[in-house]
Amino acid sequence: MAPRCSWMWRLPRCPLLGRNLSTTRRLGAGRSLSSKSPTPQICVVGSGPAGFYTAQHLLKHHSEAIVDIYEKLPVPFGLVRFGVAPDHPEVKNVINTFTQTARSERCNFLGNVTVGRDVTVEELQRAYHAIVLSYGAEDKKELGIPGEKLPGVYSARDFVGWYNGLPDNRYLSPDLSSETAVILGQGNVALDIARMLLSPLELLEKTDVAQPALEALSQSRVKKVWLVGRRGPLQVAFTIKELREMINLPGTRPIYDPSDFQGLGDILKDLPRPRKRLTELLVKSALEEPGEKEAVRRAQCTREWGLRFFRSPIAVLPSEDGKRASGVRLSVTRLEGSGESAVSVPTGETEDMPCGLIFSSIGYRSVPISPGVPFLPRQGIIPNSMGRVLGAPGLYCSGWVKRGPTGVITTTMTDSFDTAQSLLEDLKSGALNLSNSRPGASAIRELLLLRGVDPVSFSDWEKIDAVETAQGLKVGKPREKILNTEEMLQLVSR
């Protein structure tokens, strides 16, 4: 077992071990020891949008606070890098703002550090005045039906990670030899997957899609994609931008069952504006005859996608030899209630949908980070009030681990600002105890050194970024992602 650090008992006397100003930047610990009022030392766990937006708000609205961001991967930005679809580069522009935050004199990025393994939450609590848990939803929800482990069935999370270059998913190697794919779910992630499966290769070649995924998609035989939802058109979870992209996807046409949309026009006026606009587009696309130009385009398409409503999966069907998936059995449902709160209930009827490729896109879920941190397993969140972790003073949360895996990046921004504001209010009111100085990153670095963990700084990440960008430039892409964490670490150790 690694020896304990002196800072656990005598915080102000903790030395900086192995401090190198080129990588251990702007720790600010010395200032906190000499000032009349100790400098707030704040730690954020997770460097995705929730983590960076929280840090941004804290730094902007408190002129003294030091904010350290911990990330388990050697690279920052979380779902912006590994979740946003490659053909949505405009969404990734928030990285520019996050980079400005990371370069602040009062911010430190410590990558390649897994909280809960390399350092515990309790150890962070002894080094910081406050901790914000923003580690997202890194697990996937299970379907809980027979056959879901058969070859040919993939989680949306793993597939998205694969084409986005997430190191954990680089060996996924999905079998794309089936002409029909079924996606269980009707959210934005489901549409992202459908678009990736059906997009012309020349569109994907100009993105930062991982090279192994690009090569596999170039050999794909998928020609039809069904997106299956247990409820109806008024309850789809995708947004209008993503729907419009699918409707206009080159080489691809939508297919609908007009009966699914009958009567919806009569209730449009009573819908909230975002739902109204989305439903109007669905109804128009499904029921109105396309113009001459659009009709010609659709007639020439070789690929298609469709929405299947009021269906819930009850089993994945095996092939005759039992070695892989050959279809999915669906329970036909009906709705009880109306609007967003409508609940699907089975009618007793079933329907089999043949296919050799199935994606489960029913959501992500957060996991507990420490036995000492409250967690609600059913909801998959940390219990909190405005970001304050219930029953744990000094602990906060933001993002998906706070509210569940819902919303878009702007939702996360607002949510994270709210958490940061709660923390700032607690600093101002005295609810957060600043009577003792805390060493922050200096002490944690000492502890990590004793455990053989070498954190990656933001300037180290910029070395990785430069290599990826240069490699992408050679092939006409914005970047060619490095897929192996060991290769990343070798780059920063040179």
Q: Tell me which residue has tokens 């090279």.
A: 211
Tell me the C-alpha to C-alpha distance, in Å, between residue 361 and each of 158, 226, 276, 364: 10, 12, 24, 8
Q: Is 76 helix (H, G, I), strand (E, B) or coil?
A: coil
C-alpha dihedral sign at 49, 52, 54, 56: negative
d(CA 392, CA 55): 20
d(CA 260, CA 143): 25
The catalytic residue among 88, 145, 175, 247 is 88
Give the type of residue at 457.
S
Say if residues 62 and 54 touch (Cβ distance below 8 Å): no
Give the type of residue at 49.
P
Say if residues 376 and 390 touch (Cβ distance below 8 Å): no
Task: Decide if 62 is catalytic.
Answer: no
Task: Decide if 88 is catalytic.
Answer: yes
Task: Decide if 69 is catalytic.
Answer: no
Locate 208 and state its tokens: 């930062």
The catalytic residue among 87, 192, 208, 415 is 192
d(CA 473, CA 358): 34
What b-and-e string marks burial along 192-217, b requiring 16 or more CB atoms within 10 Å of the CB?
Answer: bbbbbbbbeeeebeebbbbbbbbebb
The catalytic residue among 257, 267, 352, 410 is 410
Determine phi and psi for 345, rounding to 5 degrees.
Answer: -130, 145
SS3 content of the chain, % helix, strand, coil (to 5): 40, 20, 40
Say if residues 48 and 78 touch (Cβ distance below 8 Å): yes
Residues for the chain: how many in total?
494
Would you give the end-to-end CA distance of the chain in angstroms? Answer: 29
d(CA 358, CA 355): 7
Task: Decide if 175 is catalytic.
Answer: no
Helix axes 156-163, 188-198, angle to 10 degrees: 50
Locate 303 and state its tokens: 């690929």
The catalytic residue among 406, 409, 418, 469 is 409
Residues designated catalytic: 88, 192, 409-410
